[in-house]
A and B are shown apart, each in its own frame.
Chain A
């Protein structure tokens, strides 16, 4: 054990002997990821609309029920709003070129039409429910909500769909409670949370933010972990063997497995710490997301319960061990540095593919995925963020990855010894 500690200490000191090495491993990947996560949506928006900032939704003649709905519902506050009157809207559209330009830049227009020039939207809807309540099943309401957007822009279209599904559909469902009168059966029974308490404020946003995080965070963490493991295994095993330093270590009166164990422990501690730093920055990135736009990859309010956080935190060193085992096995099988570099980089393609798949998939992982090495960590973290994880998933994935890591390492060391 003392020799393992000596090698471990040596490797850790080596990392801290140069600030460039320390920054490269601990902060640079995390900072680059933060930048990428924040710049990527801006870039897509710029490419699509020619504007970096996302424009507020222009709401024309918003009825009181809609304004109230926006104030009371977190999902609706994901968007910024610009409330204007019919008159202001007419003035806006008088200059057709300027209006088209605004639409091209990503402005969404939500237009409330009551269908009756003398009544407002809420009055028309209330009257409709009264008709229905009095038994007139043929009653028709002319109250309509129009949504205008730039059909040629994917970003505008996606944003409009998100607005319709996430805000308008729910708003329309809520009208039966707020304006339905006798027709309302259930009625609203909202539990008012203390809006001054930052924890409850986070809780309000948590579901939306965590669902978005489930698509982004697991993939980001896996790519970042593998990048660090790959760099360290290249340095501590492949480069040291290439420059003969490993031979010097193996010539000391220390069991080879103790030398390897010291190095593996150092890799695990460094990468786990580095991943925790990245996770912390990911949380901060979400918490400082003041704009909280719907297109943001990490909307405001990402938060895990202590139990969920522990599940994620424990999954990291186990995954790092498996990644290290795979990389060491590759290094031991190959002789030439360029072959090693190419082969170690290949899994990065797998992790990138997995990351993009997770970004677009809307379903939760299936059982078979828990037995795909390394991908199962992605599935576990995604499930945890969606608060859908079960105890047996966690146990199976931990044990499977840990067992596999030890098996791969044992085989790699045995083959190396036979040489």
Chain B
């Protein structure tokens, strides 16, 4: 569903942030991107989400490319980053209505989607409260609900559990598992090893803008000969990081 082929990105002439990254994500698969801060995870995800253009290389989403079918791709992608802060004076209901109009969701479908999302994340009692009156966890749950309002086959989540308490994190990870079972292709970036281990079918470890290693958790552990996944990650990082 997603094919990233030899993608490069430079913000300045001197420095390349992404240096020839390639991978593929299939339907019903969760693909994890792991790496330290500044490795290029967010840049890579923003390029896949069409928010940024690669300097070179090709990204194909469900057979479509951004230069020709941008709006079609947008219909197929749900993108969430923990950096998104919703309008503080708005309410979940108003946000839901607004994005539903932008995605052209018919009223009957919208009613069903709202019911499902609000029930799953317990948003109902807060539906008419202002965003600035809600907790961080609730804001993140509303962000997720809005990102997936159009039920996209491809989901890109940039550190969705960052800053959340254990219970909310669990709700989010359970939801991702459900989405995977429903056949969605998911790209996920995270700092949390347990989340990566539990959710991801395949993981790419990004170091200094390159994929230093790629495979399932078991494959990565076997490749490095480490005791566990966390140790495998650090070994890969130390072996590939250039000072």
Chain B residue contacts of A254, Cβ below 8 A: 71, 74, 102
Pick the contact of A247: B51, B72, B75, B94 (CB < 8 A): B51
A245 touching B84 by the CB < 8 A rule?
yes
Chain B residue contacts of A255, Cβ below 8 A: 71
B51 touching A250 by the CB < 8 A rule?
yes
* Dominant secondary structure of chain A at its interface with chain B: helix
Instruction: Using A6-B98, A419-B53 as known contacts, say yes or no to A253 and B71 having CB atoms under 8 A apart.
Output: yes
Report the nearest B residue to A249, measured CB to CB.
B102
Chain A residue contacts of B71, Cβ below 8 A: 253-255
Report the nearest A residue to B53, measured CB to CB.
A419
Once bound together, how far apart are the Cα atoms of A254 and B72, in whole Å?
Answer: 10
Contact with A along B167-200 (1 / 0, CB 8 A): 0000000000000000000000000000000000
A253 touching B74 by the CB < 8 A rule?
yes
Report the nearest A residue to B76, measured CB to CB.
A253
- A residues near B, CB below 8 A? 3, 6-7, 10, 13-14, 17-18, 21, 243-245, 247-255, 418-419
Beyond A252-B74, A252-B102, 18 extra complex contacts between A and B, CB < 8 Å: A6-B101, A6-B102, A7-B102, A14-B90, A17-B89, A17-B90, A17-B94, A243-B85, A244-B83, A245-B87, A248-B79, A250-B51, A251-B79, A252-B99, A252-B103, A253-B75, A253-B102, A418-B53
B81 touching A247 by the CB < 8 A rule?
yes
Closest-CB distance, B70 to chain A (whole angstroms): 8
A244 touching B53 by the CB < 8 A rule?
no
B104 touching A253 by the CB < 8 A rule?
yes
B84 touching A244 by the CB < 8 A rule?
yes
Contact with A along B82-110 (1 / 0, CB 8 A): 01111101100010001101111000000
Closest-CB distance, A216 to chain B (whole angstroms): 35
**Is the interface on chain B under 10, 10 to 19, 20 to 34, or 35 or more residues?**
20 to 34
- B residues near A, CB below 8 A? 46, 49-53, 71-72, 74-75, 77, 79, 81, 83-87, 89-90, 94, 98-99, 101-104, 146-147
Report the nearest B residue to A13, measured CB to CB.
B94
Once bound together, how far apart are the Cα atoms of A249 and B84, in whole Å?
Answer: 11
Once bound together, how far apart are the Cα atoms of A245 and B139, in whole Å?
Answer: 13
Once bound together, how far apart are the Cα atoms of A255 and B72, in whole Å?
Answer: 11
Instruction: Using A17-B89, A21-B89, A419-B52 as known contacts, say yes or no to A253 and B72 having CB atoms under 8 A apart.
Output: yes
A244 touching B85 by the CB < 8 A rule?
yes
Report the nearest B residue to A5, measured CB to CB.
B101
Closest-CB distance, A114 to chain B (whole angstroms): 74
B102 touching A3 by the CB < 8 A rule?
yes
Chain B residue contacts of A243, Cβ below 8 A: 83-85
Instruction: Using A3-B102, A253-B71, A254-B102 as known contacts, say yes or no to A245 and B85 having CB atoms under 8 A apart.
Output: yes
Once bound together, how far apart are the Cα atoms of A21 and B99, in whole Å?
Answer: 23
List 6 tightest A-B contacts by C-beta distance, closest first: A243-B85, A244-B84, A252-B102, A253-B74, A244-B83, A253-B71
Chain B residue contacts of A7, Cβ below 8 A: 102
Report the nearest B residue to A250, measured CB to CB.
B51
Once bound together, how far apart are the Cα atoms of A251 and B152, in whole Å?
Answer: 12
Once bound together, how far apart are the Cα atoms of A240 and B213, in whole Å?
Answer: 36
Pick the contact of B77: A10, A14, A251 (CB < 8 A): A251
Once bound together, how far apart are the Cα atoms of A243 and B143, in whole Å?
Answer: 12
Chain B residue contacts of A17, Cβ below 8 A: 89-90, 94
Closest-CB distance, A231 to chain B (whole angstroms): 15
A to B CB contacts below 8 Å, 22 in the list: A10-B98, A14-B89, A14-B90, A17-B90, A17-B94, A243-B84, A244-B85, A245-B85, A245-B86, A247-B49, A247-B51, A247-B79, A247-B81, A248-B84, A251-B74, A251-B79, A252-B74, A252-B99, A253-B71, A253-B75, A253-B104, A254-B102
Closest-CB distance, B140 to chain A (whole angstroms): 12
